[in-house]
Structure 1
Amino acid sequence: MMENHTPQQPVQAQESDTSAANISLHDIIRMVIDNWYWFALSVVFCLCIAYYYLASTPKVYSRTATILVKDSRKGGDVELQAFSDLAGFQSRRNVDNEVYILQSRRLMEEVVKRLNLTTNYTVRERLRTRALYTQSPIDVQFVDNNDKLSCSMEITPLEGDKIRLTRFDDEFITKQESKQVLTASYGDTIATPVGRIVVNKTLYMDDEKYLDEPIHIGKSSLAAATSAYRAAVKCDVVSKDASIVTISMNNSVPKRAEDVINTLITAYNDDAIEDKRQISIRTAEFIQARLEVIGRELGDVDRSIEDIKKDNNMIDISSEAARTVTESSRYKAEGLSLDNQINVAEFIRTYLTDSANAGMLIPVLATLDNTAVSTQIDKYNTVVLRRDKLAENSTDNSPVIQELDNVLSSLRHSILASLDSHISALEIQRKALREEEEQANRRISTMPSQEKVILGITRQQKIKEELFLYLLNKQEETQLNYAIAESNSRTIDMAYGSAAPVAPRSMIILCMALIAGLAIPFGLLFLIGMLDTTIRGRKDIEDNLSVPFLGDIPTFEGETKNGIVVRETGRDPLSEAFRILRSNMTFMNVSSGKTVQSVHFTSSDPHAGKTFVAMNLAMTLAMAGKRVVLVDLDLRRHALSSQLGQGNNKRGITGYLAGTITDINELIYNPGIHKNLDVILAGIQPPNPTEMLLSEKLDQLIAELRTRYDYIFLDSTPAMSVADAVITDRLSDLCLYIVREGVLDRRQLPDIERLYREKKLHNMSIVLNGTRTHRHGYGYGYGYGYGYGYGYGYDDKKDDSYRKRIMLFLRKMARKIRR
């Protein structure tokens, strides 16, 4: 298709994915250099934030104390082993339990009460708030104070022993009440929206220092203050092999941290000693009370035994027990006999009531102890036997048989009635026997208790004598225990610490601010670059396309007239770029060996700037003495015609193709830009632009123009949008495919490569438009970001002005720093 290429040699398209994704260290360094002002601005901003944080954040100091817990597992109570049998020294301690006690809420609540930590006094010093711990010039007493009160206010000392109270706040008052301003004197009981208070001077009052200086008073509830300080104090065991505990606390006031730790140790020791002494006191009270009681009980033991024997009518508990057991056995045997008779009677009654046994003999049981019932049963059985003998020689309808049946029925009812009476009598007897048996059993069951009581009283008589002597000994031991009671710990070091604050760490924060100031713009720029899928420079074209690269046009920042930016004697980058493009175009010869005369301009999208490139390249050739004609073949948008202000001119190529204009000279229009540069306008927008471009008249027109001009530039539509560009490509010797940096998506490059390989555009070459030497992201030394639309326009004045203002501001700051 062509023999001569530009000096650049493109790589294969299949290698584009990996090469385009590579970012070298040079690219990163170039990104930082090109955007140094953003890095400088970000570093200054982050350092200012760090300085404000350091200036407004109170300095925090650390204080630590060390105590030795007397852990019984580790020999902590060796000096008290001589008294190990005493009640106060029986419990075993371990260091882990003592750590939990040190961190208990009860102890910290006691510390808060002793140091009055619920009320805080602070003043504002520049950006920082300073706490007036133990140095407050005033003392505020809350008359209506309770452990749940939480409020705040500001008190300003005035001249003449007057004070002004403002900015009241708690969770109940209204907004109007919080804005009240009260004036009072020292020592007055002041009724405020948060309750009644009394304000007094302290020894630290300095009229010159605190006059008209607002002092903020914050009153927190006891529970809130306890929780806050409990969370701030940390207790840790130094090692598993030792019982040494470190108590540490960080606070903005080192004196307050020391007081909290030391008071916590004191409260812990007092609590341990008080606990031991309470045991001794209670033990002594118990011993004294028991001595008095035992003295009286010794005389009551004999009377107790006598009273028990009288109440139970017994002389000797052993003989009484034998007699009661004999009676219980007899009652039990008689009851079993009655149970047997009742069971026999119930069996006979059940037998008679069963219809299946009608006319059958009744069993005669010897255990049935009732003569009347036995006589009736015998009579009944005799009648049954008689009836059975008569029934062998007669029928059931025989009068004799029927009479015997009536007799049997009458006897059966008599027997049942007798059985019921007999059973009732037996049950009454059995109930009486069981009551007697139960009484006997109750007497038996109480005898062990009675014997136990007697034995217990006898035993107490012996024990109380020994106990009395024992309690006398223990009373002396308890007094000794009370005298030698001591804490569970020994203080090794009271609270101490360095005068240097532990937070905020200035160097670390400044270094972090510096790193953040460098990382934020780097991350943003890198992210913007990674998210930017547009063409970022010439390297993207060369790495992804095998199409010949003809040249690149830098972006233009400024105003233009009729879209022309090149100057005949100009040495600016744009003029030089178009001259290079003009020179490179001479190397592009057609296969027939003829020089390039008809040049077709197209692109992928309507914002590539093909009209801008066509007009300025044509102007460059015109300045070189070549006659050039620009033909607007964009019959849809009329970009070239509109650029020249002739978008509605009817004398255009559509009129010629439609037959309304026959003379070619009527089409040629000189815009007055250069005598060697003519233009053929698009004309009226037709309803069928694609069919009109297929007309043979267009071929005839181009053939005629070839005889009149050295170069014919055909400004066409985007090749990816409509088919017009491919249709008009038949009229060209060279197709300049305009790609705009920062606009064309790199994902469209395979489509351009496909156009070239399938030879849909004649003698196709690439021109990169809108390249920049300064980028806001990483890349290859070229930029992105444009403000012009379809055509030639550039509008980066705002961005340039913004950067100039930033640079001016940075220069002023640098001058001030140098001063």
Structure 2
Amino acid sequence: MNSSSPENYIIELFKRVTPYKWSILFIMVLFIALMQLKLYFTPSVYESYAIIKVKVNENKVDSKDLLRDSLFKTNTVGINQEMAILQTFQTNKKALEKVNFQVKYFIKEGYKKVEIYNNLPIRLHHITKINPKFINHDIKVKPLENGFSLSSNKEKNSTIYSYDKEVVTPFFTGVISKTDDFITPITIKLQGDIRHIYENIIKNSLSVSQLKLDTNLIKVAFQDTIPQRANEYIDALVDAYINRSITKKNMINSKILEFLDERLSITKKKLEISENKLEKYQSKNKNIDPSLNSKDSYGKLSDIELQLSEIQLKEQLINNLIIFIKHNRNLNSIAPTLLEFNAQSTLKLITDIQNLQIKEDSLKLEFTNRYPPLVQLRKRIRSIRKQISLNVKNLKTTLNFKRKSLLKQKEKYEKILTLLPEKEKNYINFKRNYEVNSKIYTYLLEKKSENELVKVATISDYEAIDRAYASSIPVKPKRMVLLIIAGVVGLGFGVVLALIRSLTKKKIYKLQEIEERIKLPFYGKIPLFDEKMGINIAIEEAYKQLAINLQFSKKKHEGNIVLVTSTIRGEGKTTTVINLSSILFRKTKYRSILVDLNMIEPSLHTHFNMDLPYSGMSTYLSTRDNLGNIIFDTSYPNLDIITAGPIPPDPAELLSSSSELEELFIVLKERYDYIFIDTPSFEELPEVLDLVKYADKSLIVLRENVTTKASLEKLEEAIKEKNLKNIGLVFKLTVKMKKKDLKTPPLISQQNVPKQLM
């Protein structure tokens, strides 16, 4: 398997953080506890929603009645615009006037504040002024014998105020009424005026979306900590939205009725005048009977004048359209009027410009006015608006052309009538004026009657399919999800922290850290004690166990060489050599010899109260001494020693180039049961590993809070590189023990061991 595979990285990470598993667990539990604490103080939020059905205009018409078309056609170009309208301040303003968000009331339960909405002991109303400094700040209302006092963290106020009277305070000007007795203070929060409430509360909590893409159903949702208030607000908003459509239709219808009343008044006067003139003329000239030709011309002339009156009405509407286009952004409301003129291309342009304006509103929320797509969009909107204006002006030109054509025809028939006798001509003019005014008056009366009936039967373009509903299950915070996330984040943080500690900590502190870094067997674990009162029984037992483990691998017919080294200086390899040999020669009567190959800083001889002799391993390996001159007796039976001798200038070269070393070990194996070799540490002399080939068993001594991770890793790499076998570990770890548990019988007497290294 590739050493750089993801699996190996995960295994390595696991190895590094496992020693800190309890710290990781503590951090994870701490994160969960902190999240639980946060959730305790975080109020639950509930969502109320309603479903509205929207009638969307499809720009089709069945009637050619201008006034009825203007009234009945829906003033929308798309459901997106309706959703945008629901989120505007003007629509929400109506709902905010019915539902109270201006003042919130809180009581203390346990260690947290809880908002109350029903059964309020006090009520703040008729607010005429609010200090902006205290908007959304806690103001405590404390009950007193003769009234109440107000205070906050920012303002300490000792004034006593009366209930049911307007009070002028540093926080607000208004009236506080008491509806029930209360003992503990009540906290109130002022939310500002309606605009401030909309910008800071409503906009963040209101959402409007299309229920399904292929339907005209809109879902209006509002989130609040009080589900009842959320329901009330949604119902108020839906009602305001529905009533908006009715109000708009009634406003349009009222304008039409005003226009009709004005025209009726003018036409009635004309009709009365023409009727009086006709009656007077008939009373004076009783025997007038127009000819058939004059009657035909008279009838056609009446029709032409009626058409001219209709064109005049349409021209007035066209003029209103031109003014409206010039001064209004939303051109949606002119669509019904354009249908009368069958201006389908212009209607399509209105649909396009409304869709572009929706995109413009969306981009304005996220980007500045210099944002290139927004600039291009506005150029396109201006271009379409110009085209709409041009199309409407062309309609006016067409009407003007038709009017001129009718005027020419009128002139033609009027010339025919001028050829009639004077009395007959006057009679026809009087009668024509009367009939034209009568027809116009009748037409206007019919339209007024129709629109009065429509006004009474006006219904909204929107319908509430589902009224407000709030579930008893809060939508946020998702407590279980957040606790799980807190646990995962805590676990991750703990792992990262453990990894940092692992990477920054240079020394080994636990046995497990060694086991995770190097795959070598442990031959012994030697306890160390903080109390320096000698060696206790536990240490002796530990060395006995180490000796027993070595005896399992002992060769029967020849001596066994045990090499003892360490990764760095100070790990206690020399002490291990002495105590291990002491166990063997005292308890088992094995004949043993100590060989000091630490020619860098020899110390083995000092443990036997010996000066460094002039003869030793350095003189032997350099062929200046024979074997007989370098073996020294100790005061202990069955235990001899070969000291290091004089320190050579290059110990590494002496050890690696000498052929006498192998001959020495052959001779010693014949004379002794155990040969213990004390060597320099691996850090001091990396070539020490070359001596492993002479040993039957090699022990590497490691010590808690002394052995470094770097030296251990280098040692492992060297062992793998040289493919060394028969190597084991001895770990020395600190143990705390009471003084009464300590024993003093030494393995080697204090007289002969003046410097005991532990």
| Range into which the TM-score falls when normalised by the shorter chain | 0.5 to 0.7
- Give the match for residue 222 of structure 2: 249
Residue type of the alignment partner of 1:65: A
- Give the match for residue 206 of structure 1: 181
- Give the match for residue 698 of structure 2: 736
- Give the match for residue 545 of structure 2: 576
C-alpha change, 1:724 and 1:238, in structure 2 (3 Å) is closer
| 1:154 CA displacement | 1.8
C-alpha change, 1:698 and 1:112, in structure 2 (3 Å) is farther
| 1:125 CA displacement | 1.7
Give 1:536-685 correspondences, 5 Å limit: 552-554=523-525, 556=527, 558-559=529-530, 570=541, 575-584=544-553, 586-587=554-555, 594-597=558-561, 599-603=562-566, 605-606=568-569, 610-611=573-574, 613-622=576-585, 623-637=587-601, 651=612
- Give the match for residue 106 of structure 1: 90
- Give the match for residue 403 of structure 1: none
Q: Give the conservation status (yes or no) of the 8 Å contact 1:653–1:681.
A: no
- Give the match for residue 186 of structure 1: 162
C-alpha change, 1:738 and 1:452, in structure 2 (3 Å) is same
Q: Give the conservation status (yes or no) of the 8 Å contact 2:209–2:218.
A: yes
Give 1:87-486 correspondences, 5 Å limit: 87-91=70-74, 93=76, 95-140=79-124, 142-145=127-130, 150-167=135-152, 178-187=154-163, 192-194=169-171, 196-203=172-179, 205-207=180-182, 211-220=183-192, 222-227=194-199, 228-292=201-265, 465=437, 469-486=442-459
The runs of 5 or more residues in structure 1 that have no matched partner are: 1-13, 169-177, 301-447, 543-548, 758-763, 771-791, 799-819
Residue type of the alignment partner of 2:734: D
- Give the match for residue 65 of structure 1: 50
| 1:111 CA displacement | 1.8
TM-score by length of 2: 0.58
SS at match of 1:493: strand
> Which of 85, 89, 94 matches 2:68?
85
Residue type of the alignment partner of 2:106: T
SS at match of 1:245: strand
In 1, Cα distance between equivalents of 2:232 and 2:605: 88
Q: Give the conservation status (yes or no) of the 8 Å contact 1:567–1:575.
A: no
C-alpha change, 1:72 and 1:636, in structure 2 (3 Å) is same
In 1, Cα distance between equivalents of 2:533 and 2:673: 22
C-alpha change, 1:271 and 1:132, in structure 2 (3 Å) is same
In 2, Cα distance between equivalents of 1:736 and 1:658: 25
Q: Give the conservation status (yes or no) of the 8 Å contact 1:124–1:130.
A: yes
Which string of whole-angstrom CA distances, capped at 9 and with x for unpartnered residues, describes residues 438-490 of structure 1? Answer: xxxxxxxxxx99x9799599799999946555434333333223222222223
C-alpha change, 1:464 and 1:83, in structure 2 (3 Å) is closer
| 1:679 CA displacement | 6.6
Q: Give the conservation status (yes or no) of the 8 Å contact 2:565–2:701.
A: no
Q: Give the conservation status (yes or no) of the 8 Å contact 1:20–1:540.
A: no
- Give the match for residue 685 of structure 2: 722
Q: Tell whether 2:37 aligns with 1:52.
A: yes
> Which of 718, 735, 738 matches 1:751?
718
C-alpha change, 1:85 and 1:229, in structure 2 (3 Å) is same
| 1:215 CA displacement | 1.0
TM-score by length of 1: 0.54
Residue type of the alignment partner of 1:132: I
Residue type of the alignment partner of 1:64: Y
Question: Rg larger in 1 or in 2?
Answer: 1
C-alpha change, 1:518 and 1:626, in structure 2 (3 Å) is same
- Give the match for residue 173 of structure 1: none
- Give the match for residue 765 of structure 1: 726
Q: Give the conservation status (yes or no) of the 8 Å contact 2:46–2:224.
A: yes
- Give the match for residue 394 of structure 1: none
| 1:281 CA displacement | 1.8
- Give the match for residue 382 of structure 1: none
Which string of whole-angstrom CA distances, capped at 9 and with x for unpartnered residues, describes residues 727-765 of structure 1? Answer: 8779x55462527598455575453244357xxxxxx63
**Bigger Cα displacement from structure 2, 696-705 vs 485-494:** 696-705
Which string of whole-angstrom CA distances, capped at 9 and with x for unpartnered residues, describes residues 305-355 of structure 1? Answer: xxxxxxxxxxxxxxxxxxxxxxxxxxxxxxxxxxxxxxxxxxxxxxxxxxx
SS at match of 1:129: strand
Residue type of the alignment partner of 1:243: N
Q: Give the conservation status (yes or no) of the 8 Å contact 2:616–2:642.
A: no
SS at match of 1:115: coil
In 1, Cα distance between equivalents of 2:538 and 2:657: 37
Which string of whole-angstrom CA distances, capped at 9 and with x for unpartnered residues, describes residues 652-698 of structure 1? Answer: 67999699x9999999697x9x8766777779977665578799999
In 2, Cα distance between equivalents of 1:457 and 1:119: 73
- Give the match for residue 377 of structure 1: none
| 1:567 CA displacement | 6.0
SS at match of 1:184: coil
| 1:767 CA displacement | 1.1
C-alpha change, 1:149 and 1:464, in structure 2 (3 Å) is farther
C-alpha change, 1:724 and 1:269, in structure 2 (3 Å) is closer
In 2, Cα distance between equivalents of 1:679 and 1:166: 90
C-alpha change, 1:512 and 1:733, in structure 2 (3 Å) is closer
| 1:258 CA displacement | 0.7
Which string of whole-angstrom CA distances, capped at 9 and with x for unpartnered residues, describes residues 533-590 of structure 1? Answer: 9996779866xxxxxx7753336464587997886983x6x64244112332x13x9x
In 1, Cα distance between equivalents of 2:121 and 2:563: 90
In 2, Cα distance between equivalents of 1:65 and 1:81: 37
- Give the match for residue 713 of structure 1: 676
SS at match of 2:68: coil
Q: Give the conservation status (yes or no) of the 8 Å contact 2:148–2:160.
A: yes
> Which of 494, 499, 508 matches 2:467?
494
| 1:637 CA displacement | 4.8
C-alpha change, 1:95 and 1:538, in structure 2 (3 Å) is closer
- Give the match for residue 755 of structure 2: none
Q: Give the conservation status (yes or no) of the 8 Å contact 1:154–1:165.
A: yes
**Bigger Cα displacement from structure 2, 38-47 vs 695-704:** 695-704
In 1, Cα distance between equivalents of 2:70 and 2:40: 59
| 1:704 CA displacement | 10
In 2, Cα distance between equivalents of 1:19 and 1:235: 46
C-alpha change, 1:19 and 1:193, in structure 2 (3 Å) is closer
SS at match of 2:173: strand
Q: Share of identical aligned residues, percent?
A: 21
| 1:61 CA displacement | 2.7
Which string of whole-angstrom CA distances, capped at 9 and with x for unpartnered residues, describes residues 97-146 of structure 1? Answer: 43332233321233223323133222332244321225443333543249
In 1, Cα distance between equivalents of 2:237 and 2:505: 62
C-alpha root-mean-square deviation of aligned residues, in Å? 5.9
C-alpha change, 1:723 and 1:116, in structure 2 (3 Å) is closer
Q: Give the conservation status (yes or no) of the 8 Å contact 2:41–2:112.
A: yes
C-alpha change, 1:292 and 1:745, in structure 2 (3 Å) is farther
